[in-house]
Structure 1
Amino acid sequence: MDKGKYSEELNVAVRVVHMACFLCQKVQKGLAFSISDDVVQSKDDDSPVTVADWSVQATVSWMLSENFGGENVSIVAEEDVQTLSKSESAGILDKVISTVNECLAEAPRYGLKGPSVALERSQVLEAISRCNSSGGPVGRHWVLDPVDGTLGFVRRDQYAVALALVDNGEVVVGVLGCPNYPMKEQFNNQNQQNHTMPDIYWTSTGKHEEGCVMYTSRGCGRAWMQPLVDTDKKFEWPNFAREIRVSSIDDPELATICEPVERANTDHSFTAGLASSVGLRKQPLRVYSMVKYAAIACGNAEIFMKFARAGYKEKIWDHAAGVLLVEEAGGVVTDAGGRPLDFSRGVYLEGLDRGIVACSGVKLHDAIIGAVYASWESSNL
């Protein structure tokens, strides 16, 4: 595959995710003072949704349509306008409209063109509802999770903005914005090197302690991390990025494992049993969102396992960007049967065998897959 085939899509996606992270940071600062029905609401399945979720979706949808043509853009995304359109949601809708327009006004700072006039209510709702594609094996589909890990976002913990491009069923672009991910440790990592890529980096100065965007494209065999733009100092656009690479650790006793925080999303006891059987000794890091994939891609963890209970269906927006990042950074991601994840079958990861296993290397991955086969019959999953 031509490594430059998706350069334009990657270029725009990186900039748009930077914008979305800027938006999320502004909303999260407001959460420090007030968590009300005008900021956080519950969807029909009782999961939380915030001003940031809808605002990011509207912003990304509008920017992708402007850059690639609305008639050419298919977007698979998590949020819809049903809850937002209810009469009792008038307050949160007003906040979404103002938040979207504040973010779009910053587009020139990221080398993108924003609207000439502020978007109206109908335009914001249209941008959100435009993200109604069901994906599939044919054509190009953007896959967006506007705020992956909403509970982490509300609790000022880890969360991510995840944007990927699927082309004929294969993830070909992956961008992961992690506004609360610690940066200082990353940039001191001895495995990282300075790299500059054309069209994405402009002259700027300064380094940041926290917050980054990680990205890659299919077939390049490399992935990068960029610090977020510092809004206080009004930097224009970062002029540097660092290549990230998975850890070289393959000794189970030294390996770090990540798993979801919520018990509803995974079976912690089964994961603990697998960890013990393959010789993992460290306590697992329970992390919200796709930041788990980010930690593996940049070498801060070696393993991510997730085994949901029967009946739970994994959505493609929860994995697409993170999976590609880990793979291009040198890692391995499969289902628990050792097969690649299939992003060609719509909104869900249909045909998933038991769970998901992501590792920094083949040796650890093979050990865990073997342990799954050895212990699955005795599990209650």
Structure 2
Amino acid sequence: MDSPYAKEIRIAISVIQQAALLSQSIITSPDKGVTEKGDLSPVTIADFAIQALLSATFHHHFPEDGLVGEESADELRADERLLGRVWGLVEGVGSRAAAAGGADTGDAASRLWRVPESKEQACDLIDMCGSGTPGPGRVWVFDPIDGTKTYMRGQMYAINCALLVDGKQTLSIVGLPNMSPDARGAITDKDIDPSGRGTVLFAARDHGAYLLPLRGALSGDGIEPRQLPARRASTRTSADSPAGQSLRFVTCTTVTDSGNDDLHRAVAESIGASFPGCDLLPWVARWCALAMGLGDAVVWVYNKMSRRGKVWDHAGAMLLFEETGGKVTDVYGKDIDLRGGRTMDRNFSFVAAPADLHAEVLARTHDVLKQFGRRDVLEQLAKL
């Protein structure tokens, strides 16, 4: 890909490869050092270690850039044993890289990825991300493991890395360590790549989206990135379906505390889409499924008006879909605004579809909201 961000993309792929090796090294372990955060979501030693690895790498190469990440180091500072386990994973990055081979395993000066110099620096870097917010200038956003619950079961998860420039999605680099680069049709969290290659997707705004096998992406073995095809304009052929072909939904049916399956199914039926289609817990994996052409639409309406998306679950990954001809808004049709802080306070819920179908999918969503009596959402819509 001819992009002014070629350096950033190469660095990101390099460190995501190492993060994937790190995460896979303990994915089958019965003890992943799981703790529980204030919002009751789990975090593992791999989450902490990968955030330390990502932040060390990008802070080294781009020291003036801001950093935003999901985790903070409070628990590590309070628990020396937990910190020791995290540090053991970080220290082992070099040996894992050497065992895996590849082009990015030479002397420390020539490596693109970096590790913290000490436990204390690892904690400082994790905290730099944990207290960061999207703002003006260049800001990197990381989700070390999106889908920690599925990761703990040895299923689908993603490593998300995005660059925002003045709050605008500019780069996306996503590692899917156990998704096949040849994935076809509807996939679920259980559909693990038997070859172990994994997938990396990357995109720069206005330069398209691309796919590579994660293993060997920088090895110089002649593997060329495959550009993900742009969506073709759909031809409407009936009043009952917004497209001449069967549409496919991308959703998650395992988090009923967050969204309403019946409402989402009703939206899918109203647009003639299969449901659930791709059934994935990690949000980043859902956006990737859309970009890869494994699905056509995402509609997600939170059960509570107070609920907001977290920036690291969506930043960058949405750009992958947009660069293949997709459009993403909130449920009110407002453009996604990532300047709202660590949580996406300026938007509520998500509606995504190919650009030429988005208006109709949005309208059908509003019809279903009326059927389900979501006055809280509709009253806000009426104010806009």
1:249–1:302 CA contact under 8 A, matched in 2: no
After superposition, give the CA deviation of every residue in 1:284-315 in whole Å (9 maximum; x if it has no partner).
43202111111110111111221112211211
Paired with 2:165 and 2:276, the residues of 1 have a C-alpha distance of: 38
2:231–2:324 CA contact under 8 A, matched in 1: no
* In the alignment, structure 1 residue 242 sits paired with structure 2 residue 226: yes
Paired with 2:221 and 2:83, the residues of 1 have a C-alpha distance of: 30
* In the alignment, structure 1 residue 64 sits paired with structure 2 residue 62: no
Distance 1:19 1:360, change over 3 A: farther
**Unpaired stretches in structure 2, ≥5 consecutive residues:** 99-103, 185-193, 235-242, 377-384
Match of 1:101 in 2: 91
**Unpaired stretches in structure 1, ≥5 consecutive residues:** 187-206
Paired with 1:5 and 1:249, the residues of 2 have a C-alpha distance of: 29
Equivalent of residue 48 in structure 2, options 47, 51, 54: 54
Give, in angstroms, the shift of residue 247 of structure 1: 5.4
Match of 2:16 in 1: 17
Equivalent of residue 248 in structure 2, options 247, 250, 256: 256
Match of 1:42 in 2: 36
* In the alignment, structure 1 residue 350 sits paired with structure 2 residue 341: no
Equivalent of residue 319 in structure 1, options 311, 314, 317: 314
Match of 1:193 in 2: none
* In the alignment, structure 1 residue 338 sits paired with structure 2 residue 333: yes
Distance 1:331 1:118, change over 3 A: closer
What code does the residue aligned with 2:269 have? S
Identity of aligned residues (%): 24
Equivalent of residue 78 in structure 1, options 70, 77, 101: 70
Paired with 1:42 and 1:283, the residues of 2 have a C-alpha distance of: 29
What code does the residue aligned with 2:17 have? H
Give, in angstroms, the shift of residue 209 of structure 1: 5.8
Paired with 1:114 and 1:138, the residues of 2 have a C-alpha distance of: 25
Match of 1:198 in 2: none
TM-score scaled by length of structure 1: 0.82
Paired with 1:321 and 1:81, the residues of 2 have a C-alpha distance of: 24
2:16–2:159 CA contact under 8 A, matched in 1: yes
Paired with 2:317 and 2:4, the residues of 1 have a C-alpha distance of: 20
Equivalent of residue 120 in structure 1, options 118, 127, 133: 118
Paired with 2:221 and 2:11, the residues of 1 have a C-alpha distance of: 13
Equivalent of residue 359 in structure 1, options 353, 356, 361: 353
After superposition, give the CA deviation of every residue in 1:122-171 in whole Å (9 maximum; x if it has no partner).
12212211214543441111111110010011111111000101111101
Give, in angstroms, the shift of residue 236 of structure 1: 6.6
After superposition, give the CA deviation of every residue in 1:67-91 in whole Å (9 maximum; x if it has no partner).
122xx1311110001122223xx33
Equivalent pairs counted in the alignment come to: 344
1:258–1:286 CA contact under 8 A, matched in 2: yes
* In the alignment, structure 1 residue 223 sits paired with structure 2 residue 209: yes
1:226–1:238 CA contact under 8 A, matched in 2: no
What code does the residue aligned with 1:373 have? H
Give, in angstroms, the shift of residue 346 of structure 1: 1.7
Paired with 2:66 and 2:248, the residues of 1 have a C-alpha distance of: 37
Secondary structure (helix, strand or coil) at the match of 2:86 reads helix
Paired with 2:298 and 2:163, the residues of 1 have a C-alpha distance of: 23
Distance 1:340 1:296, change over 3 A: same
* In the alignment, structure 1 residue 271 sits paired with structure 2 residue 264: yes
After superposition, give the CA deviation of every residue in 1:308-352 in whole Å (9 maximum; x if it has no partner).
122112111111121110001221111122222001222122221
Match of 1:144 in 2: 142
Paired with 1:254 and 1:43, the residues of 2 have a C-alpha distance of: 41
Give, in angstroms, the shift of residue 50 of structure 1: 0.5
Paired with 1:237 and 1:41, the residues of 2 have a C-alpha distance of: 40
Give, in angstroms, the shift of residue 258 of structure 1: 1.2
TM-score scaled by length of structure 2: 0.81
Distance 1:67 1:219, change over 3 A: same
Match of 2:160 in 1: 162
Match of 1:129 in 2: 127
Q: What's the Cα RMSD here? A: 2.7
What code does the residue aligned with 2:175 have? G
Secondary structure (helix, strand or coil) at the match of 2:174 reads strand
Paired with 1:154 and 1:216, the residues of 2 have a C-alpha distance of: 28
Give, in angstroms, the shift of residue 229 of structure 1: 1.8
1:246–1:302 CA contact under 8 A, matched in 2: no
1:253–1:281 CA contact under 8 A, matched in 2: no
Secondary structure (helix, strand or coil) at the match of 2:124 reads helix
